[in-house]
Amino acid sequence: MKSFDAIVIGGGQAGPFLAARMVEKGMKVALIERKFLGGTCVNAGCMPTKTLVASARAAHVARSGAVYGVNIPGEIAIDMKVVRARAETVTMNARNGLIGWFAGMDGMTVIYGHARFEDPKTVSVNGETLTAPRIFLNVGARPVIPDLPGVNDIDYLTSTSIIHLDTLPRHLAVIGGSYIGLEFAQMYRRFGAEVSVIEHGPKLASREDEDISDAIADVLRSEGIDIHTGVSDIGFAKSSDGITVATDSARIDASHVLIATGRKPNTDDLGLDAAGVITDTHGYITVDDRLATNVDGIWALGDCNGHGAFTHTSYNDFEIAAANLLDGDDRKVSSRILAYALYIDPPLGRVGMTEKQARASGRKIMISTRPMSRVGRANERGETKGFMKVIADAETKKILGAAILGIEGDEVIHGIIDAMNAETTYPALQWSVPIHPTVSELIPTLLGDLKPV
């Protein structure tokens, strides 16, 4: 049996950085990764997909050149092999960077294999047994495949496998109208495929307010994406030239099907029962406000604990654990203000409460909206789709939440994120003097238009 000061299971966006901090403190650490260092973000999520989004935007801008007085003769052709290779290069550079970083650390042992608990302080991997007083789980999540008629009879794609496509689908059917599915839908439409989005719920991006969801749908429809919402029945069958997707309202002749109906945690084969670690009904590891499980000496970080499922929230889990365990601090998950983005074009930046949540909270609230068509930078760039929205507490004057669907919305939202984290009141932010011409310069104007509801 090999002994360590700590064992980290999973090489995503929390565990490796925590392992590195512990090594800096002179600890002996084992980092166990089943497949690739970097987790979903580096290998099948943010980095490859946003690289693909950039290629798709380049194609869209090239096709739109004439609007700006830039005439490109001939058809804009897409070389999917180059597109795929570019995304793969970005992934490999990041993954190899992590490999090199850890190789140079004394006290760090990286083990590739499938770890399972033998007891609360012991895990087995590759026929070896390891023990440590502290064990951290950072095992991530994977796409979930719903039990739909015929789904096992077709060669479907997931968000993991689609990034390896080096040919262009004739018609891509996207099952699921949430964040992952919508990004791939617009991306492949811009590459030149016909695209249909099929969503069980009544609207796209169901977490958002109805006006945001409607605006997202308008953006996608304007680019020729076929959207079906409120679909109650769906089935699949192989056809002579692809896959038939049959719903209660339509029949789609697809060449490829992407299943994007959610993710589930990679916790079902870790031997958690042997350690006594509790999970909820969906398989997420139950943790307290400081990320500790019910078993002393075991923590769960990142997607597998159900508190965020984003790269930035996973990294923040590392920050919380490191601050509490290594720096004598007392940081909590409940102090985190959730923010995220939807990377369609234009992107959606979101932070805090939606209008629906704010109304349900019983607070006296104020709301302001402003169309992107009123933003100078948006008009100069010819990208005026979308709008800004902010919700504030009428009594405390604090900002409760905001949504910016529009050009650079994923960056502009950070002005609101910073203000909320600093607990700045909206009147103070309203009197800032922003740079012109930018998208962010409209934030004070947006705040100045807050009206009670």
Catalytically active residues are 436
Give every CB contact of residue 322 below 8 A, 6+ residues apart in sequence: 17, 18, 21
Handedness of CA 258, 264, 266, 271 (dihedral sign): negative
Per-residue b/e over 190-222, b at no fewer than 16 CB within 10 Å? bbbbbbbbbbbeebbbeebbeebbebbbebbee
**Whole-number Å distance between alpha carbons of 122 and 295:** 13
Q: In this structure, which amino acid lies at residue 418?
A: D
Strands 451-452 and 251-254 turn out to be: unpaired
Secondary structure letter of residue 335 according to DSSP: G
Give every CB contact of residue 414 below 8 A, 6+ residues apart in sequence: 349
Per-residue b/e over 99-109, b at no fewer than 16 CB within 10 Å? eeebeeeebbb
Q: What is the DSSP string of 57-68?
A: HHHHHHHTGGGG
Chain centroid to CA 283: how far?
Answer: 19
Q: What is the DSSP string of 24-41?
A: HTT--EEEEESS-TTHHH
**Whole-number Å distance between alpha carbons of 113 and 96:** 18
Strands 108-112 and 29-33 turn out to be: parallel
**Which residues, listed in sequence order, are joined to residue 116 by a DSSP beta bridge?**
124
Map tokens 């512990």 to a residue: 22
Q: What is the DSSP string of 102-154?
A: HHT-TTEEEEES--EEEETTEEEETTEEEE-SEEEE---EEE-----TTGGGS
Q: Please state, in angstroms and as integers, the Cα–Cα distance from residue 432 to each residue in 368, 438, 442, following that order.
A: 18, 14, 11
* Prior bond of 146 cis (ω within 30°): no
Token pair belonging to 349: 């930046």
36 neighbors 16 (Cβ within 8 angstroms): no
